[in-house]
Amino acid sequence: QVQLVESGGGLVQPGGSLRLSCAASGSFFSINAWAWYRQAPGRGRDLVAIIPVSGPTVYADSVKGRFTLSRDNAKNTMYLQMSALKTEDTAVYYCNAIAAVANATTGRLTEYDYWGQGTQVTVSS
């Protein structure tokens, strides 16, 4: 019901910048929260940042001051601006969205969790 498409990954040198995008499409009432997770080789999937429909954005300590998460509600798109990248930022980055979907019969809204396919970010000289 909701498709998330990520873009913007790639290879960058240490100290460089990248911007990731995640666009949501499909049938949903609203995106109530957006988040980015990342998974480095041999590690679990870790939260990078999360932005709720209201309230402050929360960042992992490892990216505070370097990454900025923003959302464009009109475009149903989320962005992750990454600056001062480090080799330890190398990972597959996954977009996550909590979307409210309306039941076709009753109209009742239910929240579901959706994931993108992942985009590789490699920081290397």
pLDDT tens for 49-91 read: 999 878 899 999 999 999 999 999 899 999 999 999 999 999 9
Whether 120 has a pLDDT exceeding 90, the answer reads yes
Query: What's the CA gap between 82 and 17, in Å, rounded?
Result: 5
Query: What's the CA gap between 121 and 125, in Å, rounded?
Result: 13
Whole-number pLDDT of residue 52: 87
Q: Closest by alpha carbon to 78, among 107, 60, 106, 98? A: 98
**pLDDT range class, residue 32, cuts 50, 70, 90:** very high
Count of C-beta atoms within a 10 Å radius of residue 101: 18
Whole-number pLDDT of residue 1: 81
Specify the higher pLDDT residue, 29 or 93.
93
Count of C-beta atoms within a 10 Å radius of residue 42: 5
Q: Closest by alpha carbon to 68, among 76, 55, 78, 77? A: 78
Mean predicted confidence (pLDDT) in 14-20: 98
Count of C-beta atoms within a 10 Å radius of residue 64: 10
Mean predicted confidence (pLDDT) in 26-45: 94
Query: What's the CA gap between 37 and 107, in Å, rounded?
Result: 31
